[in-house]
Amino acid sequence: MKIDYSSYYWQNEIVRLRPWRSSDNELHYFDHYDSEARRKLQYVLELPPVRETDNVGECSIYEPNSGRYGFAIETLDGKYVGVFNLNGINERNGTFSIGMQITRNERGKGYGTAAMRILLDYAFNERRLNKFNVSVIDGNIASATMLKKLGCKQEGVRRQVIYMNGKYHDEIFYGMLKSEFIGK
């Protein structure tokens, strides 16, 4: 039986969010060989990936008290294009963050921005969270551009706090209030 996605909350006109599957491990494994993208995401040069590592437990946490919800991002025709999570949830203060990596060959096609809109809507309108906080390393132009496109405001810079590739980098902070998201 084919799934009818016509009223499925977790999609828009470009992407669909779905739970992480064991089969996604193979696809995500190859993303770990994009060291520059991983540096921009993790702020560190990761050790060589281990193929036997099962990332399912790491990426598919859906327990209400975990503070982290992981998803795979796919196109509407079912093609895996990245991994995504809502994390750092602080219910008391109403704050949260989002982490994402789009696969190398799928960047620049709007998938990340589209996925962000779904998760921001969920966080603000279903979870009653009030403030999205995120940071990017200086030089991560693609992520900074996407955040600004979504309506995030630059809130500050921590100068030379990330050491990578033989030099210190700034960490640039962005944020968005629920009222700014809803008012768009």
Tens of pLDDT, residues 14-68: 999 998 887 777 777 677 777 777 777 777 777 777 765 544 444 444 455 666 7
For 48, which DSSP code? P
What is the CB neighbour count within 10 angstroms for residue 24? 20
Evaluate whether residue 164 is within a structural domain.
no
Instruction: Tell me how many domains the chain contains.
Output: 1
Confidence label for 73 from pLDDT (cuts 50, 70 and 90): very high
Give this prediction's pTM: 0.84
Whether 144 is in a domain gets the answer no
How many C-beta atoms lie closer than 10 Å to residue 165's C-beta? 9
Question: What is the domain extent for residue 37?
Answer: 15-132
